[in-house]
Every structure is written in C-alpha cells, then in structure tokens.
Amino acid sequence: MNDTGTDLVPFPGALSRPSPSGGRVALDEDTLIEAQPGTDGVARWLRSTVGAATGLPLRDGLDADSRVVLRVDPATARELGPEGYRLTCDGHGVRIDGGSAAGVFWGAQTLRQLLGPAAFRRAPVTARTEWELPAVRIEDAPRFAWRGAMLDVARHFLPKGDVLAYVDLLAAHKLNVLHLHLTDDQGWRLEIKRHPRLTEIGAWRARTKVGHRASPLWDERPHGGYYTQDDMREIVAYAAERHITVVPEIDIPGHSQAAIAAYPELGNTDVIDTTSLSVWDTWGVNPNVLAPTDTTLAFYEDVLTEVLDIFPSPFVHIGGDECPKDQWRASPTAQARIAEQGLADEDELQSWFIRHFDRWLTGRGRRLVGWDEILEGGLAEGATVSSWRGYAGGIAAARAGHDVVMCPEQQVYLDHRQAAGDDEPVPIGFVRTLEDVYRFEPVPPALDADRAERVIGTQANIWTEVMESRQRVDYQTFPRLAAFAEVAWSPLPAPEARDFAAFERRMTGHYARLDALGVDYRPPGGPRPWQRRPGVLGRPIEGAPPIV
C-alpha cells in the first residue's frame, strides 16, 4: 500500500493528510464497530469481508479507544448527495459519514483499500494482530448515478457463484448497476413458472460455435443452464446488500430464437416452420423474431409479471436491438397488424411492440430501458435509452427529453480486444487499451448543459460470445473495468487532460488487490500462456474507432 493511500481506485474527489507529518491509525482485536441507525448492513459487510481477511472480530460497541464509526449523516447528503461519504482516519479511529447507507458502504470500500491487498482475501494470510491505516481525510461522491456493467449470461451461461463473485467485483469498484442479459437466441436463463419450456428447452443448445461465427471450429458439447427464481432472488438480495441494483433484460422482439424454439407459436408461423427451430448454436443477428400477435404480448406479460416479482429494480430492460424486419415484411399477420394500428412501416411496428411494454411497465411503477434501436419508429414516452451503437442515439434521446445510459460499442464494449498483438485471445473489434477506456467520456460535447443532465450514467458491456468461462470473462473485463469505474465515479478532467501515468501507478497497487481476489486479469505486458487461444478465429477491426 502507498503510504498516503494514493493508490485508491477509483480515486476520490478530495484526499488530504491531517498534518504534514502524516501519521497512522491501527485497527486491532479491540477495535469496535459503532453502527449508527441505518448502517447495520455495512457493519455486517465489514465483519464478513474485512473481518474475515484480517481475523479481527470487529465487534459491536461504543466504548473503545479504537472504533470504526458508521453514520448516515444528513449534512453529508446535502453537500455530497446520497452516495457521497466522508472518511476520516485519525487518532480517534475511523469515521465514515455517508449521505445514505450506500454512501457509508462506498466509504467502507475505500477503507478496505486503505488496509492493503491482504484485506481482499477470504481468510488471514498473516498472524498480525494490528492493521495499519494512513491518517487521512477523504471526501468523495460519484459523478453518475448509474455506474453499470452488463454481463451477458445468455450466450455463455455463468453459474450463480460466478455471478455473485462479479457482484463483489462491481462493489469493490463502486459500480452500482449489474445489468444481466438473461435471454437471447442462444439461451434463456431465467426460470418462468408459467412457461416452463423456456428453461426446459430454451436454456440448452446442442453445440456452440468456437470463436467468431466465421470460425470452422465447434464445441460439440451441449451448453446451457439457468437460474431458478430462488437463485435469482439470492443474487438480487446479495447485490442489494452491496447497494447494487440488478437490472434484468428480457430481449424483445429480436434475439428471441431460444423462446421461439420453446414455444413455436411466438414466431412468425405464417412465414416459416417455427417448429423446426432449435436454440441457436452460432453468433450474429438472427432473422427469427417474435410475431406481433396478441398471443405474444400476453406471453411476455406473463414473463414480465414474474420478472417484476423477482427484481425490485425500477428499470426493466427489454432489449429492442438488432431486430431484422424481413419476416414481418413477408407475414400477412404482421402486415395486418400494421394496417390495423395505422402504422407507417415495420420500424413503427417495432415501436408498437416497445410502446406496449412501456405502458405496461409504467402502469406497474417501473421504467422501460432499451438499446438505442428503440428510437426507430418513434420512442416510447417513458423509455430510457442505452446508447450502444455510438453516441448518436443517446444524443437524440437526450434532446428529446429522455434519460440516457451511455455505453458506446466503440469505447466500452469489453469483448473488444485489448491490444493489436497476435497473442490476444479471440481478437474481436477495435483495440481498446486500458488507456483508451480511461479516456472515455460518457457525456458528448454535442449536448448542452441542460441536455447533458439527461445522461444519468454510463455502462461497460461484457458480451460473452467468445467468453466460455469465468476465466475468459476476467481476462476481457480486467483491468479495463477498473479504468471504467474511475470514469464513472471520479471528477476527471477532459479526456486529453487525464493523467493516465498516475492512474497506471495506482494500478500497481490495484493489481495486487485483483490478485488477492483471484481475478484472472490481463497483465500489462500481455496475456499469460494459459490466457491465449491460438487458432481461434476472431474478427479484429483495424484503425481507431469512429466517434459516431
């Protein structure tokens, strides 16, 4: 650990030493936690994580020379916002004042970093009975309310334990949204009791394309899995204890072949034999989309009714991206729906789908969020836009008065390769280095100050077509997610003025934390031998990514 605590990631808004001579604070076996009202969950987290790593009991109590005081403070809320905090380490111990329980929790994450990498282990590795902290005062608050990571568990299923581990990784980086991509052509991952074939059939595919869809390689083993509703309630509760909101995504009307394979009546039966479809085993944009029928609407209302019962998130993501219209153009049923509704074309038919579920969710106190294709044919009144094809969709949505989460593919899709070398495993897309991600700016200069406030946050997306395991997800995600977390949290200057060299120096300490957590990240010097995938075809795109 750096003596002044300056290896923190993300870096706080303000950090100072109480005196030029510095000083240190010790936590020991007699240190007590004074958990004031509203902070019991943070105290529980400190005991279960920091307590487990250090071996310190961190008992409840008020009367001790060494204390960790946790307090929800209205003054901090007024000055720094609900997720802001002040952390003081001095001769009186440690004090964390937060604008809410969430603010106290983010302060506790900073405390853990100050204790050093060993505090990130699951059990003590030394016999020491004192753990030193630098004497320091930190005042901190996030730049964005939505600081997210999207994890695609549809293309390759991640077991529940791996998802829980990612919740902890997000929390360690002060990210507060886990967007789970639960359904796609290649698999349906959430138990729906009204429609059990979604997981009996839709959660399993016979084989899997290895690498890019042009690759000649196949993994002939069946692949699949799903989360029971109790599994998902556990994930949601675990995340909530860490002040992370789990946003579910149920993709409509495209990316739906797994659902159609399970229930053929959901597809365009007047165009193709939907009974012949199986869960898709390769990648790309699939032509088999949902039919715009009352049967389909009722089916997905059933699905979403169960989703709302599991996920308390105010936002529900309904996808809306990459929906080819060819089947609708050929379908008498779809054309009849267009005529009946007085729609101009198939783009407006997609908008009809989205608007239906926007009204349905709004009527139940939730908010619809979708990928930026939901702009096509007219944006649903209450919709929030995830701007993925670049900035343009987000700019258009913000100017129209809609909230936006910026997640442009060219900047923060973490399936894109990290270097240009031949050793990079399954090289996909543009080169996006650690520095590139660090210089990502979520708010485009094209938005004036009023419209810029419509950018409620930013998100890095982890698509798993070429990530068949937690190990591969780790490699593609880290260390870049650490840079993204600082972009989402810290008050950074303009991209060209950011001090990447200082961030790299802080990452030296942060790599040790990732090591302690068991993250199989990409080292700065390139992939380790077991991280390479020689002979697996990717789809690299040369040159700098466009700003679109």
- Please choose, from the candidates 546, 542, 430, the residue with its C-alpha nearest in 3D space to the C-alpha of residue 480: 430
Residues 6+ apart with CB under 8 A from 149: 166, 170, 175, 177, 178, 179, 459, 460, 461, 462, 477, 481, 484
Q: Rounded distance, CA 422 to CA 532, Å?
A: 9
Which entry of 30, 168, 302, 322 is annotated as an active-site residue?
A: 322
Tokens (6 digits) for 134? 């630098």
Which entry of 34, 139, 184, 415 is annotated as an active-site residue?
A: 184
Q: Rounded distance, CA 32 to CA 134, Å?
A: 18
3-state class (DSSP) for residue 86:
strand
Reply yes or no on whether 255 is catalytic.
yes
Q: What angle do CA 535, 518, 245 make, to 5 degrees?
A: 100
Peptide bond into 216 cis (omega under 30): no
Which entry of 156, 181, 212, 255 is annotated as an active-site residue?
A: 255
CB burial class (10 A; 0-12, 13-18, 19+) of residue 162? middle
Q: Rounded distance, CA 307 to CA 250, Å?
A: 9
Q: Rounded distance, CA 520 to CA 45, Å?
A: 24
Helix residue ranges per DSSP H, 115-156: none
Q: Rounded distance, CA 297 to CA 289, Å?
A: 13
Q: CA dist 73 to 86, 87, 131, 219, Å?
A: 10, 12, 27, 55
Reply yes or no on whether 322 is catalytic.
yes
Catalytic residues: 184, 255, 322
